[in-house]
Amino acid sequence: MVLVLSNQQLLAMYSHAERVYPEECCGLMVGTLDASQAQPFKRVAELVALDNRWTPDVIESNAVEPGSDPGRSRHLSKQRRYWIDPADMLRVQKQARNKGLNIIGVYHSHPDHRAVPSECDRALAWPDYAYTIVSVQRGKAVDVQNWALDIAHQFQPEAMQIAPSSATDRMPLSA
């Protein structure tokens, strides 16, 4: 599977991640899934930036890290965790379906960490979604990686293709 998004969408993820630094940003990728091609792909049509709704109560009510120290988890903040409110997820899903689209993935940032999924990311991930992580170092987005779960519920790298979304993507910045 290949995640296809535009340069503008990638820059929007970077901008969101830098704007909320040092906290993690989060959002949904809405688009289409086409498994009928020789190279199946998920094509992003829209990004929906969301507020990170993480609170320490989330970890206690969802047991997201089996075997983890609950005392440590209570001290985690939005700098190390994100949470998408189920009401936001439902709202975006309804809006996407009205447009003939679906939620195809989730993006979030890792402030001052690599763009590699954590155990919490894995525990809360859903099959078939793309999970794009933006690494933000000292407030600047420096890397992006895309991941998907395999049949053993482990993250594996998923290819990402940047496609121009409009003629302006292909034009030089100066006239």
Q: What are 14-58's pLDDT values in tens digits?
A: 999 999 999 999 999 999 999 888 889 999 999 999 999 998 777
Where residue 164 falls among pLDDT bands split at 50, 70, 90? confident
Where residue 130 falls among pLDDT bands split at 50, 70, 90? very high
Q: Is 5 helix (H, G, I), strand (E, B) or coil?
A: strand
pLDDT of residue 165: 63
Cβ proximity of 155 and 127 under 8 Å: no
Residue 147's alpha-carbon distances to 74, 101, 112, 150, 158, in angstroms, are 27, 21, 19, 10, 5
pLDDT above 90 as % of the chain: 73
What's the pTM value of the predicted model, to 2 decimals?
0.86
Q: Which comes out higher in pLDDT, residue 146 or 67?
A: 146
Question: What are the beta bridge partners of residue 49?
Answer: 27
Where residue 73 falls among pLDDT bands split at 50, 70, 90? low
pLDDT of residue 74: 53
